[in-house]
Chains A and B, each alone.
Chain A
């Protein structure tokens, strides 16, 4: 007897984009130097729990007048564009009519530091750009990695089949290793963290909340 045909497809998929921004290493190193120099009390976000191993700036990075920051904003949004476009039903022409709003901060995660789990409110997309990243020590696959938490929470019952699902159906967190000049983009509502930095050097990231407005849309909720 022939087995009946089955069509298998993922449903309820989560978009995750990995984008290589067209920047040179010298530009990135210069940006890292700028951010490191500004990792001061003046720029620290006083609203988050102080952590000597994880510096978080205020979310006003894109308001800085410095040319490298303006260039970063431009490159980051340009890199995000094809990812968001590919995930939506908008045509390119329609997409280009959308207004974009973005806020960003930078994070310096020191050795043995981490960024605890968070979700980002009032935005549709989270973009995390890697300015500087040390390589992961041997045997430390999740050192300084972005970990996106599993959000399909119906898996409390498991059996011999669901325990060993193949991608993209397998449950579990998703790891992404930041490399200098690379960027990850995903829905802002997804819980995510930066795992403990097990290396001996700093990990420098820019974390942006991004949202888009329809043409003529008068108001967006305040950040």
Chain B
């Protein structure tokens, strides 16, 4: 008997976009110097949504309103990456997207030894993105250090496992998705995805910029 064709496809797919700023070295140097210089109370987020940590500095959410050229250069790259992700994943055409204003909350994190960020998502936003200014040291004996970890949106899908579903291949496998960010790398993802940063065990700093975007007139 000839097996009839069987088509397998992902049913509830979550879009993740990954891009690189090339070259990124000059921009990242300028951003790092600026961010470290402004790691002060004046620029600290005054209303953190989670338990603050001494090992992690979180800026106010108005980063993309800073006039410095390095910030505006990053703004153009990050928001363009988000816009391209929207075009790739939606039925919007460029002319429609061009009529929309991309609103954003954007901030930076400076993380030092044993700093982390608890699992969370971002209500009232549609797309989020994280850009890596400096990944920080990756100690060889701490493979889990400083990972950006996205939790599986299919809650409960891994509760029953047997030989038939324990070894599912990508993109069907269940479980968290982990990213070790590299300098100049950007990840764009839906804001509803729960994500966290695992404890960073480098002896230097890990610096990232995050943005939440929502679209309107």
Contact = CB atoms under 8 A, between A and B. Distances in A.
A49 B143 contact: yes
Contact of A117 (B121, B160, B176): B176
A51 B194 contact: no
A119 B194 contact: no
Contact of B155 (A49, A116, A151): A151
Contacts of A158: 123-124
A33 interface: no
A122 B160 contact: yes
Contacts of A149: 119, 151, 194
B156 interface: yes
A51 B142 contact: yes
Interface string B140-152: 0111100001010
Nearest to B145: A51
A188 B159 contact: yes
Interface string A180-202: 00000000110101011010000
A156 B199 contact: no
B155 to A, nearest CB: 6
Contacts of B159: 119, 121-122, 188-189
Interface in A119-160: 119, 121-122, 141-142, 147, 149, 151, 153, 155-158
Interface residues of B, number: 31
A215 B166 CA distance: 28
Contacts of B142: 51-53
A147 B162 CA distance: 28
A195 B194 CA distance: 17
Interface string A18-50: 000000000000000000000000000000011
Given A51-B144, A112-B199, A117-B196, A157 B123 contact: yes
A174 interface: no
Interface in B138-194: 141-144, 149, 151, 153, 155-156, 158-162, 176, 191-192, 194
Contacts of A189: 155-156, 159
B93 interface: no
19 contacts: A49-B143, A112-B113, A112-B199, A112-B201, A117-B176, A121-B161, A147-B118, A149-B151, A153-B155, A156-B121, A156-B192, A157-B123, A157-B124, A158-B123, A188-B159, A189-B159, A193-B119, A196-B114, A196-B116
Interface of A: 49-53, 112, 114, 116-117, 119, 121-122, 141-142, 147, 149, 151, 153, 155-158, 173, 188-189, 191, 193, 195-196, 198, 221-222
Interchain residue pairs A-B with the least CB separation, the first 10:
A158-B123, A189-B159, A121-B161, A112-B114, A156-B192, A156-B123, A189-B156, A142-B51, A196-B199, A121-B159
Given A149-B194, A173-B118, 10 more contacts: A52-B142, A112-B199, A117-B176, A119-B158, A121-B161, A141-B51, A142-B118, A156-B191, A156-B192, A189-B156
